[in-house]
Chains A and B, each alone.
Chain A
Amino acid sequence: MTESNRISAMKRLTAPLMLALLLVAGAASAAGDAEAGKNKSMPCQACHSQDGNATVDPQYPRLNGQYRDYLVKALHEYKLGERKNPIMAGFAATLSDQDIEDLAEHFSSLPGGKLTDLHGKVSE
């Protein structure tokens, strides 16, 4: 292999390598940490309860056992102002992407959830 061939081979490899590294980094930051989420969930508990079942007031949704990716989406929508709620806008504005992943992991993985899908629960 000549010197110029080696250089062009290296160039061809650089882009895929960079991409792979970015993907790995992206996947790592996307994963939520339930324990970290628990530590960040203190403000949430005032309305959504410590166990996420929102037993304080029925205007607040239950979060315990809700799908993780739905919770992530909802928090991003509040943060971006796509979902409008004065209380949640204030909280979501303070959250980083990692905070959102951690909180969603925490609430979606809590035991004792009262939420269910509608499988078998409609009139035929």
Chain B
Amino acid sequence: MTRALLLATALSFALPAVAAEKGDAAAGKLKVYTCAGCHGIPGWKNAYPNYHVPKIGGQNYDYLVAALTEYKKGERSHPTMRAQGESLSEQDIKDIATYLSSLAP
């Protein structure tokens, strides 16, 4: 019952999806240089707590924009990512998300 309710809630969030305005992939490719320091090493692990740094190439655009914006605002707590997020403008975030979401394995 609870799960059915949650499912219905999730679906109601999913419906009013609006196509987001994207950034510049070429500019994004230049701006992801720093990201590759951790996200570019296959199997690279976060020091503490110890877990793999997530794969972000090919990730969905809107999710990437939301994640970077949350780090920028301090709503997500990873210290390195918060510092990176603070250094990014809204345009940087759009450009980076546009390039990353265009990648394929």
Q: Are A90 and B9 in contact (CB under 8 A)?
A: yes
Which chain A residue shows the least CB distance to B63?
A61
> Quick one: given A46-B10, A54-B60, A56-B14, are A116 and B29 in contact (CB under 8 Å)?
no
Q: Are A91 and B51 in contact (CB under 8 A)?
A: no
- Cα A72 to Cα B36 in complex, Å, equals 23
Q: Mark A53-94, 1 if CB is under 8 A from B, else 0.
A: 010111111100111111011000000001110010011001
> Quick one: given A43-B3, A60-B60, A60-B63, are A118 and B20 in contact (CB under 8 Å)?
no
Which residue from A59, A73, A83, A94 sits with its C-beta under 8 Å from B2? A94
Q: Are A61 and B10 in contact (CB under 8 A)?
A: no
Interface majority SS on A: helix, strand, loop or mixed?
loop
Q: What's the least CB distance linking A6 to chain B, in Å?
A: 42
Which chain B residue shows the least CB distance to A65?
B55
> A-B contact count, CB below 8 Å?
126
With a CB–CB cut-off of 8 A, which chain A residues contact B83?
none
* Contact residues, A86-104 vs B (CB, 8 A): 87, 90-91, 94
Measured CB to CB, the residues of A under 8 A from B are 43, 46-47, 54, 56-62, 65-70, 72-73, 82-84, 87, 90-91, 94, 113-123
Known: A94-B6, A118-B32, A119-B41. 11 other contacts (CB 8 A): A47-B14, A57-B14, A58-B101, A61-B60, A62-B63, A83-B76, A115-B105, A116-B58, A116-B104, A122-B40, A123-B33
Measured CB to CB, the residues of B under 8 A from A are 2-3, 6-7, 9-11, 13-14, 17, 20, 29-30, 32-33, 35-36, 39-42, 44, 49-63, 66-67, 75-77, 100-101, 103-105
